[in-house]
Structure 1
Amino acid sequence: MENSLNIPKFPNANARMALAKRLNLPYHENMQDWEYEVADAVLIDDFLNAYDLNDITEEERFLLIEMLFQAFEEMDDLEKDTRWYRTLSLVENNLDLHTQTVLYWANGAEPFEDSWNIAPFIRKLRDQYNLEK
Structure 2
Amino acid sequence: MDSFVNESDGFDAANPPRYESREAIERLNTVLHLPFTEGMQDWDVELADASRLGEFCALYETGGLDFKERFALMRLIVASLDDLLSVGDPGGAPELVTRVIRVLRKDCALHFHTVEYWCLLEEDDPENVFAVTPLLRQVWRECFEPEYAAGIIG
TM-score (norm: length of structure 2)? 0.77
Q: Contact (CA 8 Å) 1:107, 1:119: kept in 2 or not?
A: yes
Q: Aligned partners of 1:28, 1:80: CA distance in 2, in Å?
A: 29
1:79-120, Cα deviation, whole Å (9 max, x unpaired): 952111110110000011011111110001312211001111
Q: Is 2:18 the partner of 1:9?
A: yes
Q: Contact (CA 8 Å) 1:112, 1:119: kept in 2 or not?
A: no
Q: Contact (CA 8 Å) 2:16, 2:113: kept in 1 or not?
A: no
* Residue equivalent to 2:71: 62
After superposing the two structures, state which structure 1 stretch, 97-106 or 26-35, moved more.
26-35
Q: Is 2:94 the partner of 1:85?
A: no
After superposing the two structures, state which structure 1 stretch, 41-50 or 72-81, moved more.
72-81
Q: Aligned partners of 1:109, 1:49: CA distance in 2, in Å?
A: 32
1:13-32, Cα deviation, whole Å (9 max, x unpaired): 11001001001111233111
Question: For structure 1, which runs of at least 5 residues remain unmatched after alignment?
Answer: none
Q: Is 2:130 the partner of 1:116?
A: yes
**Partner AA of 2:38 in structure 1:** E
**Partner AA of 1:25 in structure 2:** L
* Residue equivalent to 1:51: 60
Q: Aligned partners of 2:100, 2:109: CA distance in 1, in Å?
A: 15
Q: Which has the larger radius of gyration?
A: 2
1:35-82, Cα deviation, whole Å (9 max, x unpaired): 211110011011011102252111111111111111111223479521
Q: CA deviation at 1:5?
A: 5.1
Q: Contact (CA 8 Å) 1:91, 1:98: kept in 2 or not?
A: yes
**Partner AA of 2:142 in structure 1:** Q
Question: For structure 2, which runs of at least 5 residues remain unmatched after alignment?
Answer: 4-12, 149-153
Q: 1:2 to 1:92 in 2, by over 3 A?
A: closer
RMSD (CA atoms): 2.1
Q: Percent identity?
A: 26
